[in-house]
Copies of this chain bind each other. A is one copy, B any other.
Amino acid sequence: MLDAAADLLVRWGYQRVTVEDVARHAGIGKGTVYLHFRTKDALFLTVLLRSHHHVVARMADRMAADPAEVLPSRMTASVYRDLADDAVVRPLYLGDPEVLGRLAHEAAETLGELGGKRDVASRRLFGLLRDAGALRTDLPIEEQEYVLRAVATGFLFVDSLSTPEVPVDRDRRAELIAHSIAAAIEEPGAAAQAGAVAPQAVAMFRELAADMDAEWRRRVRR
């Protein structure tokens, strides 16, 4: 059912999709949808939450498999690649009002508390990375986070913006993100220090993922 909702959401946008559409598309009755979700909003919020959770979980998995993934450059590039493939989170990250409809507002609110937790995690990760000598210390930590956010935002938006000619393919663009972020805030050879931070980072993000998982499962009636 969530898959059906997700599919229709990205194809038509929140406004145009009716609960009956979702039910039909999932091969169930409309009433059944309301057996599982209190409201239409709850349904689609859950869709968003699930996908968001997926992104964070993959992040943690990648860190576990390769410690260098804790570096902001690598992390961001990987998320960028994920976004390219996941049509649900892309509008979420881009705040696309066309797709999100009124959810854009609603989502920000509900995801806000989780966003807070994520910000805390991110802040702590930055602290760890600085202590480990993987991040530079020539900028205060808030400025580094601002730079990261700005650069990541830029690469995300510049594609969806009026640019007739995008010079390179998806993977190369991801590499360019990594290059830019690494150059701006990371220490050369930071990868070597990543190993020391990875375990804690993995734990943090797994916990975050678990929170998100719990959150969206909590929204399903049974």
Contact = CB atoms under 8 A, between A and B. Distances in A.
Contacts of A180: 147, 150-151, 180, 183-184
A168 to B, nearest CB: 6
Contact of A154 (B143, B151, B176): B151
A163 interface: yes
Contacts of A177: 150
A149 interface: yes
A144 to B, nearest CB: 9
Interface in A116-165: 139, 142-143, 145-147, 149-155, 157-158, 161-163
A137 to B, nearest CB: 14
A195 interface: no
Report copies per complex: 2
Contacts of A139: 176, 179
A167 B183 contact: no
Contact of A150 (B146, B149, B155): B155
B149 A163 contact: yes
A146 B162 contact: no
Interface string A93-137: 001000000000000100000000000000000000000000000
Contact of A143 (B151, B153, B155, B176): B176
B153 A161 contact: yes
Nearest to A177: B150
Interface of A: 95, 108, 139, 142-143, 145-147, 149-155, 157-158, 161-163, 166-168, 172-173, 176-177, 179-180, 183-184
